[in-house]
Amino acid sequence: MLDDIFDYAENIRNQPVWRPVPDHIRTSFQEDLPTEATDLTSVHAAFMRDILPFTTGNTHPGFMGWVHGGGNVAGMLAEMLAGGLNANLGGRDHMPIEVEQQIVRWMRSLFGFPDTSTGLFVTGSSMANLIGVLVARAKALGVSVRRKGVSSHHLIAYTSAGAHGCVAQAMDLSGLGSDSLRLIAVDDHHQMNIDALRQTIDADRKAGFTPFLLVGTAGTVDTGAIDDLRELSHIARSENLWFHVDGAYGALGMLADLKVSVGNYAQPVRSANAIKRR
């Protein structure tokens, strides 16, 4: 099985980026629940025949669609080791917890976060943005909001019209309601329009609402645009808003020796590779 997937990764450039799924294969995955065991060899053969040739194509060097990561062999082996351990990091005293805490410290150093910063590793940007909204909610209303709820409050959040839909979903799941999220128009660079943001915050305060959260985006999924994060941080500070950045796509640019265009300013950013925004 391992040899087969290695061969696939090594020779994938010789295959089409994507193939349509034949009707008979799609139909074969509509069978009733099996009542008897199937040997692993048969399952693997079905995987190689009916699944592997008909994937999204994101591991192909010619893939140009959306922002799926391509993965690599080291990641494949790491997943195998992690799956073999099947470690629960919710408690107890074991080394996988120390590994997680070490990587949190590395991320803190990479991004220049304060020594008091902590972190969590979650399944993806949807869960990460939900946690960000919950943290901002607790900051605005106090931890007691987890018991008392939010029904008597009128909290308003702001993000770009180009932000990922999971930000609105997080507002829904947190009990604040997706209608409490203001989608701010973007400018010619597909960044959140700063003037429109200021005007919307001002209008909400005059209407009796309580602005509490500003969500910036470091790499939108449609164009890869990065909001003017420095200016947004100034606004968040002056308006007493929790500032959250969705960096699911662009944040790991901190690992590269490159320049990232963010608005019309030049400012060095603390990182291991001295990346500069201009």
- Residue 130's Cβ-side half-sphere holds a number of Cα atoms within 13 Å equal to 14
Mean pLDDT (the chain, rounded): 88
Based on the number of CB atoms within 10 Å of its own CB, is 258 exposed (0-12), middle (13-18) or buried (19 or more)?
Answer: exposed
Residue carrying the six token digits 């351990």: 85
pLDDT class of 60 with cuts at 50, 70, 90: very high
Query: Same domain, yes or no, for 233 and 135?
Result: yes
162 & 45 share domain = no
The enclosing domain of 245 has a CATH number of 3.40.640.10
pLDDT value, residue 152: 64
Q: What is the pLDDT of residue 258?
A: 56
Asked whether residue 35 falls in the same domain as residue 22, the answer is yes
Q: Is the pLDDT of residue 268 over 50?
A: no
Give percent of the chain with pLDDT exceeding 90: 74
Give CA–CA dist 267/229, Å, rounded.
11
Q: Decide if 181 is inside a domain.
A: yes
Tell me if 82 is assigned to some domain.
no
Indicate if 159 and 271 belong to the same structural domain.
yes
201 found inside a domain? yes
Same domain for 178 and 215:
yes
163 and 251: one domain? yes
Residue 210 lies in a domain: yes
User: 17-33 pLDDT, tens per residue?
Assistant: 999 999 999 999 999 99
Q: Which residues pair with 47 in a beta bridge?
A: none
pLDDT per residue over 160-174, tens digit each?
A: 999 999 999 999 999
Asked which of 122, 140, 165 is the last residue of a domain, the reply is 122
Whether residues 164 and 180 share a domain: the answer is yes
| 73 belongs to a structural domain | no
Whether residue 115 lies inside any domain: the answer is yes
Asked if residue 221 and residue 107 are part of one domain, the reply reads: no
Of 61, 87, 103, which residue sits at a domain end? Answer: 61
Of residues 60 and 248, the one with the higher pLDDT is 60
pLDDT at 270: 39
pTM, rounded to two decimals: 0.76
The answer, yes or no, to whether residue 130 has pLDDT greater than 90, is yes
pLDDT of 269 > 60? The answer is: no
Same domain, 8 and 31: yes
- Asked, for residue 140, whether it belongs to a domain, the answer is yes
- What is the tally of structural domains in the chain? 3
Highest mean predicted confidence (pLDDT) among 58-62, 75-79, 212-216, 266-270: 212-216
Q: Each residue of 199-240: pLDDT tens digit?
A: 999 999 999 999 999 999 999 988 889 999 999 999 999 999
- Cβ distance 115 to 172 under 8 Å? no
Residue pair 168/133 in contact (Cβ under 8 Å)? The answer is: no
The pLDDT value recorded for residue 223 is: 87
> For the chain, what's the residue count?
278
Please tell me the distance from the alpha carbon of residue 213 to that of residue 241, in angstroms, as a whole number. Answer: 5
- Domain end point (choices 122, 141, 167): 122
Q: Does 19 share its domain with 133?
A: no
Q: Is the pLDDT of residue 16 over 70?
A: yes
pLDDT over threshold 80, residue 263? no
CB 174 within 8 A of CB 116: no
Which two tokens mark 64?
Answer: 């140009």
The whole-number pLDDT of residue 276 equals 30
75, part of any domain = no
Indicate if 112 and 212 belong to the same structural domain.
no
Q: Are residues 204 and 270 in the same domain?
A: yes
Q: What is the 3-state secondary structure (H, E, C) of the chain?
A: CHHHHHHHHHHHHHCCCCCCCCHHHHHHCCCCCCCCCCCHHHHHHHHHHHHHHHCCCCCCCCCCCCCCCCCCHHHHHHHHHHHHHCCCCCCCCCHHHHHHHHHHHHHHHHHCCCCCCCCCCCCCHHHHHHHHHHHHHHHHHCCCHHHHCCCCCCEEEEEECCCCCHHHHHHHHCCCCHHHEEEECECCCCCECHHHHHHHHHHHHHCCCEEEEEEEEECCCCCCCECCHHHHHHHHHHHCCEEEEECCCCHHHHHCCCEECCCCCCEECCCCCCCEEC
Quote the domain boundaries for residue 194.
Answer: 125-277
- Among residues 79, 104, 107, 246, the alpha carbon closest in space to that of 165 is found at 246
